[in-house]
Amino acid sequence: MANVEVKKEGYLSIGKTEAVEISVDTFLCKGCGICLELCPRTVFEWSKELSEKGVHYPLPVNAEKCVKCKLCELLCPDFAIAVKW
């Protein structure tokens, strides 16, 4: 299994492998849960801690499962997610 590095860096919640980097801008994220519901590979889990906005935010804990479909990036209503490779 690919090594996943998960971290919170400033306003970014990041899940990174050698193949892909998924980042959630926790300043923009309103915690609606669309990305958790719609990611076909259950890449995201809720954070235990609250963001600067006072909501739980998605952590890309299973980034190694990402198939780079970009659904999360396209469907996030607040443009908070970026998937890069």
Binding site for ligand SF4 (CB under 6 A): 22, 24, 29-35, 39-41, 43, 58, 66-72, 76, 78, 80-81, 83
Integer angstrom CA distances of residue 48 from 35, 53, 56: 17, 14, 7
Give the pairing of strands 5-9 and 12-16: antiparallel
Would you say 45 or 78 has its CB closer to ligand SF4?
78
Q: Residue 65 has which token pair? A: 């499962």
How many residues make up the chain in this entry?
85
In the complex with ligand SF4, the residue whose CB is nearer, 14 or 24, is: 24
CB of 60 to ligand SF4, least distance (A): 6
Shortest Cβ distance from residue 83 to ligand SF4 (Å)? 4
To ligand SF4, the closest distance from the beta carbon of 15 in angstroms equals: 8
Residue pair 47/59 in contact (Cβ under 8 Å)? The answer is yes
